[in-house]
Amino acid sequence: MYITITPQKLGGNYSQSAADFVEYLEKENQGVEQWGQTKQAKGVEYFFNQYDDGISAEEVVREIDGNTAKLKKNEPKFYSITVSPSKYELSRLQNCSDDLKTYTRELMKDYVASFNREINGRSITIKDIKYFAKIEHQRTFKGTDIQIKENQPYASKILQLKTEIRNINEGRAIGNVQKMRLKIEKLEKEAPHQQDGKRIVQGMPKAGNQSHIHIIVSRKDASNSFSLSPGSKHKASEVVMHGRTVKRGFDRDKFFGHAEKTFDRTFGYKRNFAETYRARKDFIKNPKLYFAALMKLPTNERALAFRMMGDSGVPIMPNLPVTQTQLALKLFNRLRRGAEVAIKSSSIGI
C-alpha cells in the first residue's frame, strides 16, 4: 500500500480554486462517450464521498471552493490523498471499483481518527470532514520513474540517430541510413527496461492492474468553521490558547498503520511482513533490524517478501546470505538506497 498526503501544492501562494486539480483527475474520462445525462455511462468514473456516488466534477469544485472561510493565500485550501494498493492487494478484490469505494469510506474514518482535535468539546467524526474521491485505473510512466531514468541513455542515442537519419534524408548530411536503423533496433532491444517487448518510454501506460484512489479533502471542516490540517507538524499535543487547553496535531503513523489494517480486515487480506508499514519504515531507517526480522520468517513467507521487494524495484542481490551474521553493512546500504529510489518512483512506500 502506497499512501501520500500532500497539500494543494508546494510553496508560494495557493490557487483560490480546486478547478485545475479536479480537471486533472478527470483525465481518464476525457474522450469517453457520455450517455446523455445518466450517471451510468460506460467507462466513466465519477466522484463519490462518504454518502453519495455519481458526483460531478463541477459539484466537487463548487463544494471545495465554497469551504475556505478565513484561509489565507499562503494556506492550502485542500489536501490530496493518493492511495495505491499493490498488485498483491488488488488481486484480493472482487470488483475493483466497488471494493475500492468501500475501502475509501472506511479509510476516511481512520483519517479523522488520526486527528488529535476536538470540535465544541467532542472528538471529530466522519461527518465533520468534506471530501470527494475518485477511482482511476491507469498509470503512465513519468520522467521520475526509475525505468525512464535508466532507459534515458538509450533514448538519447536513439534520438540522435533519428536526427542524423532525418538530416541525411533531407540532404543536409551524408551517411548510411540502413546501418543507423540497425543501430536503433539494437538500442531498442538493449534498453534495460522493457514492457511487452518494447522499450519503456515516458507516457507509456503501465501494464497490469493500476487501479488507485485520489481523494481531495477540504482544509476546513464541513461547517466551514474549523481548520483540519493533516500537514500539521504536531503528532498529538496540547497547547494553551486564549486561556484554554486546545488539542492539536495529526498522527501520520497512526493513519498509515490503520490504513493497512482496515484493508486487511475489509478484504480478508493476509499481509506479508515486507508489506507492513512498520517493516518498510525500518527498512529505510534501520535495515539491520529489518533484515534480522526478515530472516526469522518461515521460508515461504521470506521468499514472498523478497519477491515483493523485487517487484517494487528494490535491487535484491542474487546470492543473498541467509544468516544474520553474513548480512554486511554494504549490502544494507545498497538495499536501502534501492528502496529509497523505489519509494520516490511510487513503486512502494509508506
pLDDT tens-digit profile of 214-229?
Answer: 999 999 999 999 999 8
Judge if 192 and 231 occupy the same domain.
no
Judge if 115 and 252 occupy the same domain.
yes
Judge if 252 and 124 occupy the same domain.
yes
Judge if 88 and 210 occupy the same domain.
yes
Judge if 326 and 221 occupy the same domain.
no
Pick the more confident residue, 310 or 78: 78
Q: For residue range 86-125, what is the model confidence (pLDDT) as tens digits?
A: 999 999 999 999 999 999 999 999 999 999 888 888 889 9
Residue where a domain stops, chosen among 226, 245, 267:
267
The answer to the question of residue 185 being in a domain is yes
Judge if 222 and 132 occupy the same domain.
yes
Judge if 67 and 123 occupy the same domain.
yes
Judge if 48 and 194 occupy the same domain.
no
Judge if 185 and 280 occupy the same domain.
no
The pLDDT value recorded for residue 121 is 84
β-sheet bridge partners, residue 194: 199
What is the band of 317 on the pLDDT scale with cuts at 50, 70, 90? Answer: very low
**Domain membership of residue 156 as a residue range:** 146-199
Judge if 115 and 246 occupy the same domain.
yes
pLDDT tops 70 at residue 242: no
Residue where a domain stops, chosen among 243, 267, 291:
267
What is the band of 32 on the pLDDT scale with cuts at 50, 70, 90? Answer: very low
The answer to the question of residue 75 being in a domain is yes
The answer to the question of residue 349 being in a domain is no
**To 10 degrees, the CA torsion angle through 105, 108, 110, 114?**
-170
- In angstroms, the CA 217 to CA 215 distance is 6
Residue bearing cell 459539484: 59
Least confident of 5-19, 48-62, 318-332: 318-332
For the segment 160-180, the average pLDDT, to the nearest whole number, is: 96
Judge if 128 and 216 occupy the same domain.
yes
The answer to the question of residue 350 being in a domain is no
List of residues 6+ apart from 82 with CB closer than 8 A: 2, 3, 4, 6, 212, 213, 214, 215
We report the CATH number of the domain holding residue 24 as 3.30.930
Report the domain count for the chain.
3
Cell numbers at residue 75, please?
Answer: 494556506
What SS3 state is found at 208? coil
Judge if 42 and 154 occupy the same domain.
no
Least confident of 29-33, 273-277, 304-308: 29-33
